A and B are shown apart, each in its own frame.
Chain A
């Protein structure tokens, strides 16, 4: 048996023995995820156990080195682990901006001291992070951000406002883009700071969305003192780190895995006549969505393998983000078409408190957050197709 096959056999056995039965059912949304953190309330003993077992094994951040709380897996082993987890429908043990975003940034740009301090608690689900990027005047044009960090010798004094900070009201720490220099071009003078959300002067206010939910906050920063050792890399490197991270974020948002096929949901909701959905036009639209969904998944796989083979994904991630989010919006429009009036119920038990309608409204943000579809198309045109102009 090859080393990889041995690893597969061991992993399969470990998952069989350690993944609780309750953690082998599909999640129906963000609410079912395990986010971890100081204030997180586990939904079940199984959820807690699953996190602890995976964390001890390094499986919450499998590719990270062991000293940082990972399992030190190779890319190939990581794929095997993912496949084996999919095989038994295992839920992700931890959903974490720390694993997805801050981790990759620290691993590339952080000091050894910072990596050892911040990464292990992330993998154990002990510290939950949020991302402080957008501001009221800096959305698609992120580099025009104005939150100011003044050099006060041993610390920075931070003043400004962030917006669209995901789960800032539930997070323990924030990684935040601030302006340390106002003199050069807007891309220069941006720095990357880390601080505790309990620091005096930090206040997070949830924003109520059209979905009725509040996954985002406005975050007000008033005379917040941040020790200088919490600066990642050097002053002025913030934009490089942010760009690197946005690439990760775009790949993540573009990902559509783990959702039930829309055709299956449509068959459940609307029922079949002679084995077919009764509405032939809707049937055609759903078939097209299934084709695009499948082809898009194949594209994610292909582009990631190409990147592994030595090429960089770079601006291509903007295409994936654009395509994946537009596809997800289409999927929910189709589900709403299928459900009709039943899908429009916003409250009450029958609709599970409007789960479908609220998810549908939530998807509208997919093509806005992390860079709008229009900005993604601009980036593709400029960086991939090398078209002229701004």
Chain B
């Protein structure tokens, strides 16, 4: 496997590179943070992303997208990570688009997918319930009621949950808490009776929400797919989300490393550029090795997803584990090697550390993924 990009992908990468550096650099995130922006991202930017085809990258042409696939989605996520751009790309263009594409009925697809691709609808995935990602511990339940369901439960870490037009809720339709199966996905209107949404601003100045569902009534056609096949859809959505987060962590980790390296080449102490000290050189060279190896993991995972490789799930977990560790290592080293200025809000390295902390946690940190890797590899 050569892991080289094809012509379309190179074009997509170049386009995304210019777009996010120009339209959504860290300065924009700072502005959203400092003005306590209610949306938490720029809706105008999201509209432009839709025009560029970014929002429809995982949606097929019949439903208004361009269907370029996971590698292309990863290249976009990498640039988002590099610039710390606040956008609903993950929640809407990756998670919701995958949930609908893989699990939705034709009616659901033709109703919602074009609205995702054209940027008019924001969606969020509500799956986690506690501080740590663990789908099998899902306690939220959907109980049959008439020709529909009643959903109750508490959800946390719902990205863009406070502005979503639709929330895709993962709830248990069979089995006990702790069972690996028995989950289904439901389209829930956040304005419906019994839904309470609390915005939670996170360490990375990005949006999340806690969502309470108290006997929320939904119709039978609110299920994505059917209740028997819900687990497969949940797996597909998580796989896509973990891959996109790995790509985002690659962008953030690479940029945090590049900024640290630049600083090492500029800062003078003891009458010399500190990058001349061997102790610092070795730490930088080690990080270079780790980020290069991590990059291959991301590319291989995205390729496997596009190829529908039988090992795609394993490779995605491997990539998320590798990126979780590597990006975190770089963010820790990044602040240390910046010295005092690394502790100031003025320098971006702290912003990267915060976002990396959040992204490595989402949908399973490195320990979660390593456990999954070991189980999949049967040891």
Residues of A within 8 A of B (CB): 261, 263-264, 266-267, 272, 275-277, 283-284, 286-288, 290-292, 294-296, 298-299, 301-303, 305-306, 309, 316, 319, 322-323, 374, 376-378, 380-382, 384-389
Contacts and interface: CB of A to CB of B under 8 A. Distances in A.
A291 B298 CA distance: 12
Contacts of B321: 287-288, 291
B286 A377 contact: yes
A387 B379 contact: no
A380 B285 contact: yes
B191 interface: no
B281 A302 contact: no
B297 interface: yes
B1 A283 contact: no
A299 B292 contact: yes
Given A295-B297, A322-B289, A377-B286, A302 B370 contact: no
Contacts of A276: 374-375, 379
6 contacts: A272-B378, A299-B296, A322-B285, A323-B289, A323-B293, A381-B281
A381 to B, nearest CB: 4
B273 A388 contact: yes
Given A288-B321, A387-B281, A298 B288 contact: no
Given A299-B296, A389-B276, A291 B285 contact: no
Given A263-B374, A302-B296, A385 B318 contact: no
Contacts of B282: 374, 377-378, 381
Given A291-B373, A319-B288, A387 B276 contact: yes
B277 to A, nearest CB: 8
Nearest to A262: B379
B147 interface: no
Given A267-B378, A290-B377, A309-B4, 9 more contacts: A264-B379, A288-B321, A290-B373, A291-B318, A291-B373, A295-B297, A299-B292, A386-B265, A389-B281
Interface in B57-95: none
Main secondary structure of the interface of A (DSSP, over half): helix
Contacts, number: 140
Contact of A305 (B3, B292, B293): B3
B335 interface: no
Contacts of B12: none
B4 A292 contact: no
Q: How large is the interface on B (under 10, 10 to 19, 20 to 34, 35 or more residues)?
A: 35 or more
A316 B296 CA distance: 14
Contacts of A376: 285
Interface string B308-320: 0000000100110
A387 B367 CA distance: 34
A295 B378 contact: no
Interface in B112-152: none
B294 A295 contact: yes
B189 to A, nearest CB: 41
A295 B2 CA distance: 13
B379 A263 contact: yes
A298 B300 contact: yes
B56 interface: no
B2 A292 contact: no
A101 to B, nearest CB: 24
Nearest to B300: A298
Contacts of A389: 272-273, 275-276, 281
Contact of B374 (A286, A292, A302, A385): A286
Contacts of A302: 1-4, 295-296, 299
Q: 6 nearest interchain CB pairs?
A: A305-B2, A389-B276, A298-B296, A381-B281, A380-B285, A295-B297
A288 B261 CA distance: 27
Contacts of A378: 278, 281-282, 285
B99 interface: no
B284 interface: yes
Contacts of A319: 285, 288-289, 292
B50 interface: no
A263 B376 CA distance: 11
Contacts of A380: 285, 288-289
A387 B286 CA distance: 13
B328 interface: no
A378 B286 CA distance: 10
Interface centre among B282, B286, B293, B379 (most CB of A within 10 A): B379
Contacts of B315: 294
A385 B294 contact: no
B374 to A, nearest CB: 4
A384 B286 CA distance: 12
Contact of A301 (B1, B276, B297, B371): B1
B379 A295 contact: no
B330 interface: no
A295 B296 contact: yes
